[in-house]
Amino acid sequence: MPQNFAATIGDQAPKPRIVQHHGRRYSIRLEPIFWQSLDALAERLGLRLGRFLAERAETYRGANFASYLRVICMLDAGQSLARASLRPSHGGLVDLVAGCPSPGLILSRHRTIVTHNEGLEQWLGPAHKPLAGAELTSVMQVRTRRPLNEIWSDMLNGELAHADINVLHVEPGRVTAASARLLALREPEEDTFYAVMWLASGARTVPPSPTR
């Protein structure tokens, strides 16, 4: 990071703003850079900022809505970076994954989910947790012949291009299993790394073992 990095950005002290939607008022304090990101994201979705925030507030169950909005901004920035990094050499992979009926997702070098498609949501079922930004193994169990950390390290180092794995998603009354393939997308000259995971179409739901 440049030594004068702090001098290249303006004052980022949190600024309070009040937005309204259908008569409901939301008073939120965020740094200006996050307000800019939220304004741009809402505009890209064709929504007024008030409606955009109201829709997120309706589904948020945490204690710090401002922090939740910061996370939304960071995830959106991560997805935008993935699109910019992958599009030149992989033909718009983000859009390809989104439009594919087979369950799929894109992972960052830290194994966090950058984006996923509707097929994966259907495979996980209606009770799954939010996916964007989650670490892969917090969403599903990964079964491999070698430790996952070793496989991932080999992918990061360019020693392994792909790996076949098995995944499980466990929730009360439902265990869903599938075979999957991890594909490494590494650009050494740009020091970027992403991985795509595709689930086989033969996914199956396994009845949970009865309790005794």
pLDDT band at 165 (very low <50, low <70, confident <90, very high): very high
92-206 has which fold? Beta-Lactamase (3.30.450)
Nearest of 199, 189, 192 to residue 109 by alpha carbon: 192
pLDDT the model gives residue 12: 74
Residue 210 has pLDDT above 70, yes or no: no
pLDDT band at 91 (very low <50, low <70, confident <90, very high): very low
Closest by CA position to 193, among listed 142, 158, 162, 144: 158
- Is 80 exceeded by the pLDDT of residue 11? no
Hey, where are the domains in the chain? 9-78, 92-206
Task: Note the pLDDT tens digit of each residue in 43-85.
Answer: 888 998 888 998 888 888 888 888 888 888 877 776 666 665 5
- Which pLDDT band, with edges at 50, 70 and 90, does 1 fall under? very low
Which carries the bigger pLDDT value, residue 196 or residue 185? 196
Pick the CATH number of 9-78 from 3.30.70.260, 1.10.287.110, 1.10.3990.20, 3.40.109.10: 1.10.3990.20
Query: Is the predicted pLDDT of residue 86 greater than 60, yes or no?
Result: no
Residues 12-22 have pLDDT tens digits of: 788 888 887 77
Using CA atoms, how far residue 36 sits from 6, 9, 49, 70, in Å, is: 18, 13, 11, 11
Separation of alpha carbons 55 and 153, rounded Å? 39
Domain pair 9-78 / 92-206, same fold: no
Task: Please name the residues in contact with 24: beta carbons below 8 A apart, sequence gap of 6 or more.
Answer: 54
Residue 202: per-residue pLDDT:
45
Structure tokens at 159: 């020693």
CA 66/CA 35 separation, integer angstroms: 11
Amino acid 18: pLDDT? 83
The pLDDT of residue 212 is 45
Q: Is the pLDDT of residue 30 over 90?
A: no
**pLDDT of 74:** 78
Q: Which of 26-30, 58-62, 93-97, 163-167 has the highest average model confidence (pLDDT)?
A: 163-167
Q: Answer whether residue 204 shows pLDDT above 70.
A: no
